[in-house]
Amino acid sequence: MATSIFLSHPFSPLLSKQHHKIPSPKQTIAIAYHSTNKPTTKTPFLPFPTSFFPFPSNPRKEFWPISVGRAQTDEKDEILVVGEDSAEFELSKQKISSWVYFTGILGVVLYVLNVVWIDNSTGFGKSFIDSVSSISDSPEIVMLSLTLIFAIVHSGLASLRDKGEELIGERAFRVLFAGVSLPLAVSTIVYFINHRYDGVQLWQLNSIAGIHELIWISNFISFFFLYPSTFNLLEVAAVDKPKMHLWETGIMRITRHPQVIWCLAHTLWIGNSVAVAASVGLIGHHLFGAWNGDRRLAIRYGEAFEVVKNRTSIIPFAAILDGRQKLPEDYYKEFIRLPYLSITALTLGAYFLHPIMQAASYRLHW
């Protein structure tokens, strides 16, 4: 949950096609399949099946879509990508001053988080945990309650983003969103670390050969395929003006909501009732987040989102298997980028730093 603060920015795209203007809110697109030997022409918007959930949609203007990679449907044809290229980064557009600001903001955030929330002598974190723990003596109930509190606040603020940005601006709302969500995420994680073995043991798979490796790989995959907006660190820290992005490449081709797939690894490994309670809360949160994210993107982007939705899926690989998603021949290049190298290093580092992280959690006595 709090991992996104430490992720690095994406690397320059290795794709060969030039990117055109990205769809902005209150615009729509013209879908077209075009030959590489002929000029592209505008075509009327193609109707797609209506969404499973009804969303408001307003008339919008046309714009030129962007092109990424090549489709495998025909050697001469390519599918125009109407969303944004995930993890795209151009070194020439980066400002040293922006990253200096980011470093300073990160340091201030971590300092304030420690003083106001984590440090038991000055912060409110322990009082918060004690208040929630007073609900029940059951660690399962407390774990589920902490997860649901975080989920309600996090998703609730996300739902209010449009109105909030209108009232106080994009940067101020991002500061509010992070300032409320981050302490609750830290509390939930620390409580889980401290109480993960307090519940009733339901199964014991630790001694099975290969299970540790399976869990490790599952965890690595879950962190490796984060939602692409996580990579935009300058927007996360509000150095750049935060935007709501319509992504379509990279992990989006496999699953439109990659955060749904990462909740089960620790449950399988620990195998007790506290881990199950945490997973139930997280899975529910992410399933709701998937629906809510689609709802917000549909409101913001209208028909353009419907196009992306029609050729992607929430269930991993579903759109590929049923033929709606055609992977470009150079699809692998969408992952040969700096954020994925950074995530690899950070995930390996977190694995080897587990003892230090656990010791820090134990000292808080939450």
How far is residue 305's CA from residue 180's CA, in Å, rounded to a whole number?
29
Within a domain: residue 13? no
How far is residue 84's CA from residue 34's CA, in Å, rounded to a whole number?
19
Residue 364 is which amino acid?
L
Within a domain: residue 65? no
Within a domain: residue 117? yes
Domain residues for the domain of 286 are: 95-364
Within a domain: residue 43? no
**Nearest to 281, CA basis, from 366, 361, 180, 189:** 189
Beta strand segments in the chain, E: 33-35, 66-67, 77-81
How far is residue 26's CA from residue 162's CA, in Å, rounded to a whole number?
13
Task: Please give the C-alpha separations between residue 309 and each of 19, 219, 248, in angstroms, as whole numbers.
Answer: 21, 27, 9
Chain position carrying tokens 């945490």: 278
How far is residue 92's CA from residue 11's CA, in Å, rounded to a whole number?
11
Give pTM, 2 decimals: 0.76
Within a domain: residue 27? no
pLDDT at 79: 67
Q: Residue 149 class from Cβ within 10 Å (0-12 exposed, 13-18 middle, 19+ buried)?
A: middle
Within a domain: residue 48? no
Within a domain: residue 180? yes
Q: Are 290 and 260 in contact (CB under 8 A)?
A: yes
Within a domain: residue 163? yes
**Number of separate domains in the chain:** 1
Backbone angles phi, psi at 121, to 5 degrees: -80, -20
pLDDT at 310: 94
Q: What is the pLDDT along the chain (366 residues), one digit of tens a residue?
A: 444 434 434 433 344 344 434 444 444 343 333 333 333 333 333 333 333 333 333 433 333 343 344 334 444 445 688 889 998 888 888 899 999 999 999 999 999 999 999 999 999 999 999 999 999 999 999 999 999 999 999 999 999 999 999 999 999 999 999 999 999 999 999 999 999 989 899 988 888 888 888 888 888 888 888 889 988 999 999 999 999 999 999 999 999 988 765 556 667 778 899 999 998 998 889 889 899 999 999 999 999 999 999 999 998 899 999 999 999 989 999 998 888 888 889 888 988 888 998 999 999 999
Structure tokens at 295: 């709802």
